[in-house]
């Protein structure tokens, strides 16, 4: 199986956050596995660290917490998710990466951790 290439080039800089002045004063956590899912918090600020974007929020105990902006409703929605209207669990580029990963494992170009156990004495 050959390598599948994605038909577009991803930008080096990932600017997903709107301008700070346009951020809502209250932010809801939208990541389904976060323990504070669907709760709203007051926005303190926005920052970027190591190419990741965060919002600083006041939690229920009045402590400051930093949450990735993509886990909140302050981030712009993924265009694919909007067009798919939540009918697809996977984005095409993620499926292409998965196919390439599986193909690499099958061809032996990527080492599986299970192979390392054979050499342990």
Q: Which domains, and CATH codes, for the chain?
A: 21-75 (2.30.30), 77-121 (no CATH)
Q: What angle do CA 85, 89, 52 make, to 5 degrees?
A: 95
**Gap between the Cα atoms of 111 and 93, Å rounded:** 23
**How much is the pLDDT for 66?**
92
Residues 62-95: tens digit of each pLDDT: 889 999 988 998 887 778 878 888 787 788 888 8
Q: Write down the pTM of the prediction.
A: 0.54
Confidence band for 25, pLDDT divided at 50, 70 and 90: confident
Residues 100-119: tens digit of each pLDDT: 888 888 777 655 555 544 54
- DSSP for residue 55: E
């Amino acid at each position: 199986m050959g390598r599948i290439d994605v038909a577009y080039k991803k930008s080096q800089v990932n600017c997903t956050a709107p301008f700070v002045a346009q951020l809502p004063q209250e932010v809801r956590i939208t990541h389904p596995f976060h323990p504070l899912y669907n709760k709203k918090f007051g926005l303190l600020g926005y920052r970027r660290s190591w190419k990741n974007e965060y919002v600083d929020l006041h939690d229920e105990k009045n402590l400051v917490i930093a949450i990735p902006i993509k886990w909140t409703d302050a981030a712009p929605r993924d265009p694919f998710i909007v067009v798919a209207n939540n009918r697809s669990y996977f984005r095409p580029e993620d499926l292409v990466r998965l196919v390439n990963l599986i193909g690499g494992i099958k061809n032996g170009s990527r080492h599986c951790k299970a192979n390392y156990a054979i050499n342990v004495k």
